[in-house]
Amino acid sequence: MGSTNSTLSKIPNVEELVQETGFTPAHIVRLYDRFEALDKEKTGHLRPQDFGAINRLAINPIGDRIIGAFFSPGQETVDFHSFVRILAHFRPADKKRPKDPSMPEPVNSRTSKLKFAFQLYDQDKDGKISRAELLQVLRSMLEMQVTEEQLESIADRTIQEADLDTDDAISFEEFRKSLEKVNIDHKMSIRFLR
């Protein structure tokens, strides 16, 4: 039928993606178009440089970390499925879903979003944000605008506020507790208009 879109047939395992991520087929098509637009050399994979070509991302202070979130440790390329799976973290939470403890946590729930943000800080994935890791994030966000002492005092103050078991690091539970009043679903969600 000529009036159906041929892009959908180009994407392998679409139903699986829809099930896993909760994106509608139309959204997946748009994401695929975007993936193809970023993949200038048509290799079917994206490398960090392809993300670097996005101008607004290049001027984002934590742009490099966001790009890093797409690549699993040791991997240098990301295929379309992984691309969509990472983006699925930013889908607005499904309000109508009943809380079923036997089902695995959906990828866009509040907890999953928090875990994803936690990994931004916790680069070595040991489950804790150490002082050094926090300093690293601060450094990339502020770079030459503040002095090293200012950075250290900010890091100290932040850990003091959030660290409840005084181990000089922020665990995931402490992270979650310090952000319990923030509307995560609103601030960490992307809404598609069409």
Partner 1 sequence: MCDRERSVAMEDFWAIVLAGLKVWVCLIVALLMVPAMFGFSLGISETYMKILVKILEWATLRIQTVNKEQQILKSSSFNGLVQRDDGSMEEELRGLRRSRPKPPVGGDFTLSDCFYFYRRGIEDIIEDEVTQRFSSEELVSWNLLTRTNIDFQYISLKLTMVWGLGVFVRYCILAPLRIMLASIGLTWLVIGTTAVGFLPNWRLKSWLSEWVHVMCYRICARGLSCTIHYHNKENRPRKGGICVANHTSPIDIVILCNDGCYAMVGQSHGGLMGVLQRAMARSCPHIWFERADMKDRHLVTKRLTDHVNDKTKLPILIFPEGTCINNTSVMMFKKGSFEIGGTIYPVAIKYDPQFGDAFWNSAKYNMVSYLLRMMTSWAIVCNVWYLPAMHQQEGEDAVQFANRVKSVIAHQGGLVDLSWDGGLKRAKVKDTYKEEQQKKYSSMVVGSEEDRSSNSD
Residue closer to partner 1 (CB basis): 44 or 52: 52
Across 19-43, b (16+ Cβ under 10 Å) vs e yields eebbbeeebbbebbeebeeebeeee
Instruction: Spell out the long-range contacts of 168-174 with Cβ–Cβ below 8 A and sequence spacing 24 or more.
Output: 168/130, 168/131, 169/128, 169/129, 169/130, 169/131, 170/121, 170/128, 170/129, 170/134, 171/127, 171/128, 171/129, 172/114, 172/115, 172/118, 172/127
Using the minimum distance from each CB to partner 1, give the nearer residue, 106 or 142.
142
Rounded to the nearest whole angstrom, what is the least distance from the CB of residue 80 to partner 1 in the complex?
A: 13
CB of 61 to partner 1, least distance (A): 5
Question: Please, which residue, 76 or 149, has the CB nearer to partner 1?
Answer: 149
Q: Which CB atom, from 58 or from 126, has the smaller least distance to partner 1? A: 58
Contact footprint for partner 1 (CB under 8 A): 1-5, 8, 26, 29-31, 33-34, 37, 51-63, 66, 87, 90, 117, 120-121, 137-138, 141-146, 150, 154, 157-158, 162, 170, 175, 178-179, 181-182, 184, 187-194
For residue 40, the minimal CB distance to partner 1 (Å) is: 8
